[in-house]
Chains A and B, each alone.
Chain A
């Protein structure tokens, strides 16, 4: 505000502003509304005369990508700070399901699963409708095993089981021991702190600061910011001698931005994300000449429940059951889609039906497949239900009983011969007919889960500008970037993407020559 006041011309006007400014702010009236516009601000003129803090590398965001970048940059000798706008670390990473897709791994070999980077890339491109930047997708697939090993061996995160996710050809999601990304995030946080990475909570990016050579040289932040109150926080300038790395995540919780790109995704759709998953950092990057791509490819999770908040426990139930149990439209009592289809196909199919559908499994499938704690919690909050008979199950969801029982008989025949004649669902070798009581079921209705779009980066995680050239001193990694997943991100590939490109960004940023 003080800058604006300085720029205004004319004594009477200035006097008026001085006396009225406080009142205007307190009543929410912006100066523009009174027909007084501040002088156009030139970004290059707004370089602070004095920096409050200086680091080699400034990282925005404390999820998988930001922490991977921080650890690699620090290990390359750089002086690093990580800022996080929320009052807690970890963003979505610390609340995710802990599935890390990687190929050709030790765990896969031990389980007798034949996988390769070629196959993982093929799956990513097919699901992405071939809109993926093939070079970037290739880097994720080919470096996924190395990234997983780094997490396990260097960071010390424990991965306990192999899971299947729709759209993948094989089981390749390596799940953390506590079925949450927190296993990895918390160990990365400890590692980063141990290495001497500086970290700030409640510090929000306001804008990128660019010099006359179009190089990103630092950021303006608000310290002691209390999300989501924009009136809070103290303006602070942080200089980045080498580079700024943006790892701020996606914008699934930003309803206004969502609606710009996909007007269907209004208030009716909940999100699995944490409340801070908003798009202002992407927009700030675009204002600093960063190019965006695929912003309208917004992913809905087809495995969420309308009977619990947020991500919940049902995704951990549903995704373990696909390929073992059927998904039913309660209105018809029949199956309607390939259970092992990718996220987009399945979410679109459920939205087309227009009401929640039901996923179910018998005791054999559920006990074998579902993480016990997730089942227990889901049963406790009522989103997962247990039934002694299929009749009870049908009655609870108002299904036409005869049609439903016929459908189960048909499904069981497909399971016996390991081939689904109706929807080509992948049926796993160890799947058995759905016959053993008790039966477990949950309702499904999609929630906004991941934004595939974001900033354009190159193979070195450098952000590309609207002149098609890398912006000096500017890197990005993780969900804030776009183009890697194309139309659909496959399950577990976000963790691979974040770790692979977070590490690339950190290593390359540390190699930059300081600007001053």
Chain B
């Protein structure tokens, strides 16, 4: 029995481990460094993330990025970076949302609305077509921000489970 199991490990498990290692190298997952300098990409990203010839961003914040990246020049950053980058570049670090704990739990809605005034958001997007994304006949204006605005992965359009609204979701 023991021999059989040892063989199983060699035949099945080891190739799998090698494969996982291989995949990890290709899709290098960025590190989440608590005190990372927001514009210093290589601190978290091992792979090159900025195009050739891009300005050195090490000392930059969001206000510097949008000098070039605005709606007329160089494309909008809204769909290029995940939400956590915008927070970091604006001076909001990991602990500001996740708290100063060892284990970083998911962030609750109440945390978001400490800074983001819901009524102001609803007002700001009231003329978006075909609908105002920050209020709905179903759920009113109190939907969890994170249903659409993910911070560590690409944001999504939650409405589009049933509708067909072409929103750009930052």
Contacts and interface: CB of A to CB of B under 8 A. Distances in A.
B5 A275 contact: no
A467 B83 CA distance: 55
Interface string B20-36: 10000000000000000
Interface size class for chain A?
20 to 34
Nearest to A10: B1
Contacts of B20: 26-27
A158 B160 CA distance: 28
A95 B138 CA distance: 6
Interface stretch (A112-120, A209-217, A306-314): A306-314
B160 A224 contact: no
Best-buried of A27, A90, A275 by chain B (most CB within 10 Å)? A27
Contacts of B143: 88
Interface in B72-88: none
Interface string B135-160: 00111100110110000000000001
A380 B16 CA distance: 52
Given A275-B161, A381-B164, A182 B139 contact: yes
Given A12-B2, A20-B9, A182-B138, A309 B163 contact: yes
A274 B8 CA distance: 44
A180 interface: yes
Contacts of A311: 162
B17 interface: yes
B13 A20 contact: yes
B106 interface: yes
A10 B140 CA distance: 58
A514 interface: no
B162 A224 contact: no
Best-buried of B13, B106, B162 by chain A (most CB within 10 Å)? B162
Contacts of A381: 130, 164
A87 interface: yes
A472 B105 CA distance: 38
Contacts of B147: 87-88
B130 A186 contact: no
Contacts of A469: none
B16 A27 contact: yes
A377 B147 CA distance: 24
Contact of B162 (A20, A26, A310): A310
A309 B164 contact: yes
Contacts of A352: none
Contacts of B146: 87
A201 B108 CA distance: 12
Contacts of A377: 130
B98 to A, nearest CB: 14
A234 B144 CA distance: 20
Contacts of B12: 29
B137 A16 contact: no
Contacts of B163: 309-310
Contacts of B130: 377, 380-381
Nearest to A308: B164
Given A20-B13, A27-B16, A182 B137 contact: yes
Interface in A305-327: 308-312
B144 A94 contact: no
B5 A16 contact: yes
B13 A23 contact: yes
Given A178-B137, A380-B130, A13 B1 contact: yes
Given A16-B5, A27-B16, A224-B106, A309 B160 contact: yes
Nearest to B2: A12
A275 B147 CA distance: 14
Nearest to A20: B13
Contacts of A87: 144, 146-147
Interface string A373-387: 000010011000000
B16 A23 contact: yes
A380 B13 CA distance: 56
Contacts of B8: 34
A29 B11 CA distance: 14
B138 A12 contact: no
A468 B17 CA distance: 52
A311 B138 CA distance: 13
B164 A90 contact: no
A34 B144 CA distance: 42
Contacts of B5: 12-13, 16
Contacts of A27: 16, 20
Contacts of B140: 186
30 contacts: A10-B1, A12-B2, A12-B5, A13-B1, A16-B5, A16-B9, A20-B9, A23-B16, A23-B17, A27-B16, A27-B20, A87-B144, A87-B146, A88-B147, A90-B138, A95-B138, A95-B162, A178-B137, A180-B137, A201-B144, A275-B161, A308-B164, A309-B160, A309-B162, A309-B164, A310-B162, A311-B162, A377-B130, A380-B130, A381-B164
Given A87-B147, A88-B144, 19 more contacts: A16-B9, A20-B13, A23-B13, A23-B16, A27-B16, A34-B8, A87-B146, A88-B147, A90-B139, A182-B138, A182-B139, A274-B161, A275-B161, A308-B164, A309-B162, A309-B163, A310-B162, A312-B162, A380-B130
Interface of B: 1-2, 5, 8-9, 12-13, 16-17, 20, 106, 130, 137-140, 143-144, 146-147, 160-164
Please name the 6 residue pairs, one residue from A and one from B, whose CB atoms are nearest each other, closest first: A310-B162, A182-B138, A12-B2, A94-B138, A16-B5, A27-B16
